[in-house]
Amino acid sequence: MQHSRQFLLDSYRSMATIRRFEDRVHDEFATGKIPGFVHLYAGEEASAVGVCSHLDDRDVIASTHRGHGHCIAKGCDVVAMMKEIYGRRDGACGGKGGSMHIADLSRGMLGANGIVGGGPPLICGAALTAKYLKTGGVAVAFVGDGGSNQGTTLESYNLAKVWNLPVIFVVEDNGYAESTASAWSVGGSQLGRAKGFGMPGVEVDGFDFFAVHDAAREPIERARNGGGPSLMHVRLTRFYGHFEGDAMTYRAQGEVTKLRAGHDSLQIFRGKVTQAGVLSGEDLDVVEADVAKLIDDAVSRSEAAAMPTEADLLTDVYVRY
Amino acid sequence: MAKKTYRQAINEAIAQEMRRDHRVIVMGEDNAGGAGAPGESDAWGGVLGVTKGLQPEFGPDRVLDTPISESAFIGAAAGAAATGLRPVAELMFVDFMGVCFDQIFNQAAKFRYMFGGKAVTPLVVRTMYGAGLRAASQHSQCLYPIFTHIPGLKVVLPSTPYEAKGLMIQAIRDDDPVIFFEHKALYDETGDVPDESYTIPFGEANLTREGGDVTIVAFGRMVGFANQAADELKREGIGVTVIDPRTTSPLDTETILDSVGETGRLVVVDEAHPRCSMAADIARLVAEEAFGALKSPIRTITPPHTPVPFSPALEDLYIPSAVHIRDVARSLVKA
C-alpha cells in the first residue's frame, strides 16, 4: 500500500465523519427535531472521499440532493452544516438553504442541489472559469443514476466535450432513482453514454475507497492537463431510503442488512489497511472516537443555536436591489 | 451625438465592457457563427447580428459558440458567474426559456439566498422577445412577467438605443443575475447614443412625456407607441405623462405613484399576455397605494389571452397599437 499513514487517517476520518453525521441526522430526524426533506449519503462514503481526496481548493464540485457526503469530503465545516440542517441562523447558509442547498464556495463546493440533474451544467461553467482563468482547477459533477437520465446531464456531456472542459462526471449509481431501479430506468449503459460523447469512461466498485481513489486519478489528471472530460460510473448503495421517512418497500427483504454486512465501505477500508499493516484497529478507533465527539458537539451546538429572525427574512436575495 | 441602431448600441456596450474587464465573456448559439464550418468565421454574429465583430476582436476564448443546448450553456454561464467570470449568455428567443428555465430560476436566481448571502452571480442572459416579425407563437412572446415574478432576478427592457446601451453596461457590471430583454422589432430603430461608456441605473423610470391629465406606463416597444399617442393627445389639449420603467425588477413604484397622484388617471400598456402581467401588477400597485387619487378606473392595454398568431392580418390585431392607446387614454379624460 503506497499511501502515507496521514493520507489514510485523513481519508478514514472523512468517511467516518460522513457515516456518523448521516446516522445521527437519521436518528435526530426521527425525533422530529430536524425539519424538511433530508436525503442521506450513508453507504456511499467511498465515492465522495475517493474522488475528493484528489482535489484542492482550486477545484469545484457540484452535488445532488444527497449532498452531505460531498460537502464533508470537500471540506465544508461540519458544525455549520449541522446547524444549517437544523435551520439555525449561523448555519452554513444562514438557515435559508437547508439540507438540499448546503454550499461553501470558498471551499469549491458549488452546492447540493434540489433539482435532479441541476449540477452538471453549473459544473461546466465552473470548469470554463478554471480553463479561462488558467487556475489549474478541475470541476466535478456528482450525479445520481436518476440524474444521469436528465437532459441537462446529457447536454453537459456534450458541452464539456465540445468545449474541452476540465470536468469529471461522477455517476453515483446507488441502484435506485427514488424508488425506481436504475437497472430499469437507464437505457444503454453509463459507459456506453460516455463513449457516445467521445469521453473516456471507467466503472468502479464504489464500496472500495481505494478502487475509487485509483480510478479517479487518471480522469482528474487528464482534466488538469487539458485532456477534457471523463466519466466515472461508481456502483454503490445507500443504507437509508431516498428520503428520511421512506419505508423502502421497493427494496428486497433483507437487502440493506446484507449490504451493511458485506458492502460497508468503512469496514472494507478498515480491513484493507489493517491487513496491509499500515494502520492498526486502534488507530482507526481513535479516529472514530474523535469523529463521535465532533458530531455530538455539532448536534448539541445546533440544538442550542438561535433561529433566524424576522430581520433575516428579506435579506440575501440580491447583492443590491 | 451619433445615431446608432438598438442592435449597434447593445453590441457597443458589450464590446466596451469586454475591453474594460477581461472576466466578461460572451456565449450563445451562433454568437460568432460558423464554428467548425468550412466558410467564414464570425459568419453570423448572432442570429440577428447583435454580437457581430466580437469574436474577431476578442477571440474564441471569450466569444464562445455553443451547441443548441440551452440547459447546458445557460447553466454553464450561471456556474461560471458563481465562480468568478461575468458571462453574457444569449438565450436566442425568450420562447426557448422552456428548455433551460431551471438553470435560471432554480439555480442562478437562488444561489445568493440559498447559500445565505455568500454567492455572487454576475450573469447576464440576453434574450429576444416580442411580436411583429410574423414569427408566430413560439418566437414572439414577451414572457418578462414570468422572470419578474422570480426573486433574485433583475429584469431589463430597453425601449430605445440609448436605453439599450446604458442598461446593458449596467447589467454587465451588476453583481446579480440580469435578464436583458431585446425587442426584435426594435433592432433597426435608431437614436442618439453616446460613443463613451455610460450606465443607466436599474429601478429608475424615465419620463418620456410629461402632462397633467393622464399617466401611461408602458414597457419596451410599447413606450414608442405610448409616446405617439401622447403626442396626438397633446395636439387635442390632453396632457399625458408617459413612464418607461426600463426595468420591471426592480420596479420604480415611486415614480408611478407620484405621477398617478398628479394625474389621477392610469393606463398601463404591456405587450405581455394580460393575466399576471406587468399591466396587472401595476394596476394592483396603484389600486392598493393610490386608490384615493384615482379619478377614473385603471385601464390596461394588452394583447388578448391567446398565443401570438402568425398571419399578418391577425398579428396586427394582436399587438397593442398607438391608436388604441390614444383612444383609451382620451376616453378616461373625456369620461
Interface membership of B191 toward A (CB under 8 Å): no
Residue A2's pLDDT is 87
pTM summary value: 0.96
Residues 254 to 283 of B: which have CB under 8 A from any A CB?
A: none
**pLDDT single digits (tens) B101-143:** 999 999 999 999 999 999 999 999 999 999 999 999 999 999 9
Q: Which three cell numbers stand for residue A37?
A: 426533506
Pick the CATH number of B3-192 from 1.10.287.130, 3.40.50.970, 3.30.200.100, 3.40.50.12780: 3.40.50.970
Q: Which three cell numbers stand for residue B326?
A: 390614444
List chain A domain ranges: 5-252+261-307
Q: Which three cell numbers stand for residue B84?
A: 468568478
- Using CA coordinates, name the residue in chain A closest to B108: A122
Report long-range pairs for A267-276 (Cβ below 8 Å, ≥24 apart).
Answer: A268/A46, A268/A207, A268/A208, A268/A209, A269/A11, A269/A12, A269/A15, A269/A46, A269/A209, A269/A210, A270/A12, A272/A1, A272/A208, A272/A210, A273/A1, A273/A8, A273/A12, A276/A1
Annotated active-site residue in B139, B183, B273, B324: B139
In sequence order, the β-bridge partners of residue B65 are B28
Q: In a mutagenesis test of the A interface, which of B83, B121, B125, B199 is the best target, namely the one with the most A β-carbons within 10 Å? A: B83
- Written as one string, the DSSP assignment of A183-199 is HHH--S-HHHHHHHTT-
Residue A1's pLDDT is 72
Q: What is the share, in percent, of chain B residues with pLDDT greater than 70?
A: 100
Question: Which CATH superfamily hosts domain A5-252+261-307?
Answer: Thiamin diphosphate (ThDP)-binding fold, Pyr/PP domains (3.40.50.970)
**CB-CB contact of B109 with B153 (8 Å):** yes
Class of domain B206-334: alpha beta
Instruction: Order the strands of the A201-205 sheet from edge to edge.
Output: A60-62, A139-144, A167-173, A230-235, A201-205
Interface membership of B111 toward A (CB under 8 Å): yes
**pLDDT single digits (tens) B181-231:** 999 999 999 999 999 999 999 999 999 999 999 999 999 999 999 999 999
Closest to B319 measured CA to CA, from B217, B185, B148, B128? B185
Q: What is the share, in percent, of chain B residues with pLDDT greater than 90?
A: 99
Residue B143's pLDDT is 98
- How far apart CA A56 and CA B303 sit, in angstroms, is 54
- Using CA coordinates, name the residue in chain A closest to B80: A125
- How far apart CA A19 and CA B189 sit, in angstroms, is 63
Whether residue A318 and residue B176 make contact (CB cut-off 8 A), yes or no, is: yes
List chain B domain ranges: 3-192, 206-334
Q: Is A308 strand, coil or helix?
A: coil
Residue B335's pLDDT is 80
Q: What is the pLDDT along chain A (321 residues), one digit of tens a residue?
A: 789 999 999 999 999 999 999 999 999 999 999 999 999 999 999 999 999 999 999 999 999 999 999 999 999 999 999 999 999 999 999 999 999 999 999 999 999 999 999 999 999 999 999 999 999 999 999 999 999 999 999 999 999 999 999 999 999 999 999 999 999 999 999 999 999 999 999 999 999 999 999 999 999 999 999 999 999 999 999 999 999 999 999 999 999 999 999 999 999 999 999 999 999 999 999 999 999 999 999 999 999 999 999 999 999 999 999
Residue B211's pLDDT is 98
- Using CA coordinates, name the residue in chain B closest to A113: B107
pLDDT greater than 80 at residue B267: yes
B139 noted as active-site residue:
yes
Interface membership of B36 toward A (CB under 8 Å): no
User: What's chain B's average pLDDT?
Assistant: 97
Q: CB atoms < 10 A from the CB of B110, how many? A: 24
Whether residue A152 and residue B102 make contact (CB cut-off 8 A), yes or no, is: yes
**CB-CB contact of B302 with B273 (8 Å):** yes
Closest to B284 measured CA to CA, from B263, B304, B258, B256? B256
Q: CB atoms < 10 A from the CB of B305, how many? A: 9
* pLDDT band at residue B1 under the 50/70/90 scheme: confident
**CB-CB contact of B94 with B58 (8 Å):** no
